[in-house]
Amino acid sequence: MLVLPLSNEHDRKGFDCGNAELNSWFAQVARQHKEKGISSTFVVVEEEASTEVQGFYAISLAELVNAELPSQYRKRLPTKVPAFRLGRLATAKPHAGKGIGEFMLFDAIDRVTRIATEIGGICLVVNAKPSAVDFYTRYGFEQMADHPHNLFLPL
139 has catalytic annotation: no
Give the 3-state secondary structure of residue 39: coil
Distances 10 to 4, 31, 100, 138 between C-alpha atoms, Å: 10, 11, 17, 30
DSSP string, 97-127: TSSHHHHHHHHHHHHHHHHHHHH---EEEEE
Q: Which uninterrupted H or E stretch holds 134? A: helix 133-137
How far, in whole angstroms, is CA 9 from its chain's centroid? 21
Q: Which residues are catalytic?
A: 136
